[in-house]
Structure 1
Amino acid sequence: MGFSNIATSDHLSLDAQSNLESLPKNLLCFSHLRWDFVYQRPQHLLTRFSDISAVYFLEEPIFGSTDIPYLTFSQRLPDLWVCVPHLSHGLSKEEINLQLKELLKVFFINKNAEEFIFWYYTPMALQFSSHITPGLMVYDCMDELSAFKFAPEELKSLEKDLINNADIVFTGGHSLYEHKKHLHSNIHPFPSSIDKKHFGKARKQKSEPADQACIAGPKIGFYGVIDERFDINLIRAVADARPDWNIILIGPVVKIDPGALPRNPNIHYLGSKSYDELPQYLSGWDVAMVPFMLNESTRFISPTKTPEYLCAGKPVVSTAIRDVINPYEKNKLVTIAHNEEEFVAAIENWLVLEDKVNWLTEVDRFLLTNSWDLTCADMVDYMTTTFKNKKVVTMPRSSVSKAQGNMQNLLKNS
């Protein structure tokens, strides 16, 4: 089934572009993620913002043998630059933040901070940026970072400061919104969206990449970061239970020991792939997986891959992640499994189901209004309202009293 019945857009709406005219003309993003690591929420949003403003994506520093700290700029789009601080090895936390603060001062030479939106993904950046007052401060809280492995001790207190100082807060899903909505008066949930045109290619793709095409038999796939959230034991159990199935795992291995990963002959680690390549791999899968453990690090996640899998026309089996249960299982679009046996059985059910037309029709209907373009446009609307309200100047009380007195005198003399 094609995707021709689904509306798509390559740019923000005209309304969003006109709204941007009343916002600061530049955006500086503070990110804990590398631009070239995995293409996800920050890249989707900021590439769209770069259509209508100058975007600077500031990564965490790279440490080397340099004696003098410096910034490098890499232009990725006409109005999008990736900025990387380069610092010396062996610095203390205090020295790192001091040097980053100095680099930020250099960045703002001949620039007006009031003409910038500060867009935070990491509260840690407050340590070297809190002395600057931007035109608008946004916290796009895409994850509960404090629950992740190796999270810094000071992260929670810094996030509290960031939320207190932000003009507006977005969350990466509804469960994260419910968890934080009491912390800010201007907070809005924006779950994962999709690029329909991109992932819709998987439905029409006729050939698979060579490293996957050579694998014969049913393919059960996952792409994403393989880290402490990934359920290694579940993957091992599925591979053990059905040695005739092929488990395709795409993505980098981080924060866990690669030696701990299961090495069954039917588990295939294909490594990292570019965002552009993903539809080609998806096209050859029979079922897609969201095999995350249920723990503190996954309690509030909203996996972007869920709607992307569906957009590609692939059945999805997931563990009981809250933001997958609602809305995807609630609308009977994915299958939730609560243990290893259920996970295997759910995959089996999808493999034997020959007629998926009705299911795919419901998928397309659900995804009709799901897109990063619409998400970005809605964010712009909220930001514009916030910025306008922030710019309202209230007349000081003494001035009001004086004005009222003058008016009374005029009335007496009239």
Structure 2
Amino acid sequence: MSSYQTPNNANRIDLSIHPDTAGAAQASSNRLRCSEQDRKNLESAASGGPDLVCLSHLRWDFVYQRPQHLLGRCAQARRTFFFEEPVIEFTDSWWIDVSQRDCGVWVVVPHIPEFVNEELAAAMQRSLINELFDCCGIANPILWYYTPMALTFSDHLQPCATVYDCMDELSAFQGAPPALRALEKALLNRANVVFTGGQSLYEAKQHQHDNIHAFPSSIEVAHFAQARMQLDDPADQAAIPHPRLGFYGVIDERMDLELIDGIAQARPDWHLVIVGPTAKIDPEQLPRHANIHYLGGKTYQELPHYLAGWDVAILPFARNESTRFISPTKTPEYLAAGKPVVSTSIRDVVRPYGQQNLVHIADTVEEFVAAAEQALDQARQDSSWLQQVDTFLANTSWDKTWAQMNGLIEAAIAQDMALQAVPNSRQSVAANASQSSNSSKASRKGYAAPVANLTKSNVG
């Protein structure tokens, strides 16, 4: 929960872009805010097809991962909005900040008061997403979901297609909302196409939808291959002795902290370099030894520089429900960097990387230490394995992954349009669409008022 920060309105304005929605924007009491430059960029933005609105439980600026890779590519062809989960503020107001990132994606951050219940929080977010649609002229977009929880405030929208990119089994994560499973079922019923973040997750959900596809972690090979060159060691890593066993990623309940502790104690001459932010666990619980170095979060651009200074890259994931279906993006990234990899027996690492002898698999402290010793020898004495790595990664890229996903989305849109164009049903479809559109407009224009009334009566 964030501490209270007074909104800075000095460089913020209403987004009153389209004349036919100017009244709605003015009636919003400045609930949608962005900089003058972002407003100009949004006014001039052209879209190659329908806009895409992503509804996510993740923060765009937290860790650079799957959503950033995919949606950054999407934004090259169409307006792309990334609607984050709300920031909780100690205030009696609610609003959204809209800002554009270098990749072209528009990041939308809702802010809501901390002292509202779930129902009112959903109502506020519904009002805010309506505001976004009205002010930015978004109509019948592609809705792209990363979390089923977003249905609580978006189920009234009228998309041309609904996509569910199921990158994790969120219901297995610590603190998962009780309603998540039921909402996921509802989302699967709505979705035109479903993607999964790995093969094991696909196998678990393949019978829940008739248009579901596995898209495991991909990679920007050239970016991580920089680590094979002699790069300058970052200042906070330069003084750490070798050999170095490195990990980058979010440090949370998926990490096997006992394993890390055991490795550090078993080999005090090795140094474990841990790069990444801590989430959902108390930092005081992290193992502390002279040969464990926590360097904090780093940008995507910095990662090759850290990787270049490691001798072995590790994936010390716990084997529990939260890791049962994960497909770590860092696996191919480590390999592209030219680093031997040791991982616990995560299913989507074992298949295919372990089976093709690209990654050493070990679970206990003793096994992990032995595997790391083999990996160190591999790094020192044998470079031929890199040829196998390069062959494996040659046909893998985020560009190809996005192109395949986009093709499936376009096919889903075309199929839906074809169904609506059937002669015998054209009139009824048009009538239903008109009725639905009018109903949607009426509810959207009238929805903010009840929220405002609730706020006046319930917020102190």
Give the root-mean-square deviation of aligned CA atoms.
1.8
Partner of 2:388: 362
Match of 2:312 among 287, 307, 330: 287
Q: Offset at 1:259?
A: 1.2
Q: Is the 8 A contact 2:169 2:322 kept in 1?
A: yes
Match of 1:396 among 398, 404, 424: 424
Q: Offset at 1:74?
A: 1.2
Q: What letter corresponds to residue 424 of structure 2 in structure 1?
A: P
Q: Is the 8 A contact 1:229 1:292 kept in 2?
A: yes
Q: How many angstroms apart in 1 are the aligned matches of 2:149 and 2:160?
A: 20
Q: How many angstroms apart in 2 are the aligned matches of 1:199 and 1:397?
A: 53
Q: What letter corresponds to residue 384 of structure 1 in structure 2?
A: E
Partner of 1:340: 365
Partner of 1:236: 261
Q: Offset at 1:80?
A: 1.6
* Residue aligned with 1:297, SS: helix
Task: Report how many aligned residue pairs link the two structures.
Answer: 380
Q: Is the 8 A contact 2:83 2:107 kept in 1?
A: yes
Partner of 2:407: 381
Task: Render the CA deviation track for 1:141-163: whole Å, top value 9, x for unaligned.
Answer: 00000000000000010011001
Q: How many angstroms apart in 1 are the aligned matches of 2:202 and 2:353?
A: 17
Please tell me whether residue 270 in structure 1 is matched to residue 305 in structure 2. no
Q: How many angstroms apart in 2 are the aligned matches of 1:51 and 1:301?
A: 28
Higher relative contact order (CA 8 A, sep 6+): 1
Q: How many angstroms apart in 2 are the aligned matches of 1:376 and 1:87?
A: 33
* Residue aligned with 1:248, SS: strand
Q: Offset at 1:261?
A: 1.0
Q: Is the 8 A contact 1:116 1:136 kept in 2?
A: yes
Q: Is the 8 A contact 2:48 2:77 kept in 1?
A: no
Structure 2 counterparts to residues 71-110 of structure 1, below 5 A: 71-77=96-102, 79-109=104-134
Q: Offset at 1:398?
A: 11
Q: Offset at 1:339?
A: 1.6
Q: How many angstroms apart in 1 are the aligned matches of 2:83 and 2:426?
A: 44
* Residue aligned with 2:130, SS: helix
Q: What letter corresponds to residue 371 of structure 2 in structure 1?
A: A
Structure 2 counterparts to residues 121-140 of structure 1, below 5 A: 121-140=146-165
Partner of 2:5: none
Task: Render the CA deviation track for 1:326-383: whole Å, top value 9, x for unaligned.
Answer: 0101111011013211100000011123333220000000000111000000101111
Please tell me whether residue 352 in structure 1 is matched to residue 377 in structure 2. yes
Structure 2 counterparts to residues 98-177 of structure 1, below 5 A: 98-109=123-134, 114-177=139-202
Q: How many angstroms apart in 2 are the aligned matches of 1:200 and 1:335?
A: 20
Partner of 2:447: none
* Residue aligned with 1:309, SS: helix
Q: Offset at 1:288?
A: 0.4
Structure 2 counterparts to residues 35-50 of structure 1, below 5 A: 35-50=60-75
Partner of 1:13: none
Partner of 2:398: 372
Q: Offset at 1:68?
A: 2.9
Partner of 1:16: none
Q: Is the 8 A contact 1:113 1:134 kept in 2?
A: no
What residue ranges of structure 1 are gaps of 5+ in the alignment? Answer: 1-20, 400-414
Q: Is the 8 A contact 1:22 1:384 kept in 2?
A: no
Partner of 1:227: 252
Q: What letter corresponds to residue 242 of structure 1 in structure 2?
A: R
Q: What letter corresponds to residue 309 of structure 2 in structure 1?
A: G
Worse-superposed segment, 289-298 or 56-65: 56-65
Q: How many angstroms apart in 2 are the aligned matches of 1:48 and 1:177?
A: 23
Q: Is the 8 A contact 1:329 1:336 kept in 2?
A: yes
* Residue aligned with 1:230, SS: coil
Q: How many angstroms apart in 2 are the aligned matches of 1:113 and 1:322?
A: 40
* Residue aligned with 2:70, SS: helix
Partner of 1:409: none
Q: How many angstroms apart in 2 are the aligned matches of 1:350 and 1:154?
A: 44
Q: Offset at 1:22?
A: 11
Partner of 2:10: none
Q: How many angstroms apart in 1 are the aligned matches of 2:136 and 2:108?
A: 16
Q: Is the 8 A contact 2:225 2:336 kept in 1?
A: yes
Q: How many angstroms apart in 2 are the aligned matches of 1:78 and 1:239?
A: 40
Partner of 1:196: 221
Q: How many angstroms apart in 2 are the aligned matches of 1:330 and 1:352?
A: 20
- Shift in alpha-carbon separation, 1:398–1:265, aligned structure 2, 3 A: closer
What residue ranges of structure 2 are gaps of 5+ in the alignment? Answer: 1-45, 428-460
Q: How many angstroms apart in 2 are the aligned matches of 1:108 and 1:22?
A: 15
Q: What letter corresponds to residue 76 of structure 1 in structure 2?
A: R
Q: Is the 8 A contact 1:24 1:135 kept in 2?
A: no
Q: How many angstroms apart in 2 are the aligned matches of 1:252 and 1:72?
A: 24
Q: What letter corresponds to residue 116 of structure 2 in structure 1?
A: L
Q: How many angstroms apart in 2 are the aligned matches of 1:150 and 1:328?
A: 31
* Residue aligned with 2:252, SS: coil
Partner of 1:256: 281
Q: What letter corresponds to residue 219 of structure 1 in structure 2?
A: R
- Shift in alpha-carbon separation, 1:212–1:78, aligned structure 2, 3 A: closer
* Residue aligned with 2:81, SS: strand
Q: What letter corresponds to residue 230 of structure 2 in structure 1?
A: Q
Q: Is the 8 A contact 1:24 1:115 kept in 2?
A: no
Match of 2:354 among 324, 329, 337: 329
Q: Is the 8 A contact 1:228 1:255 kept in 2?
A: yes
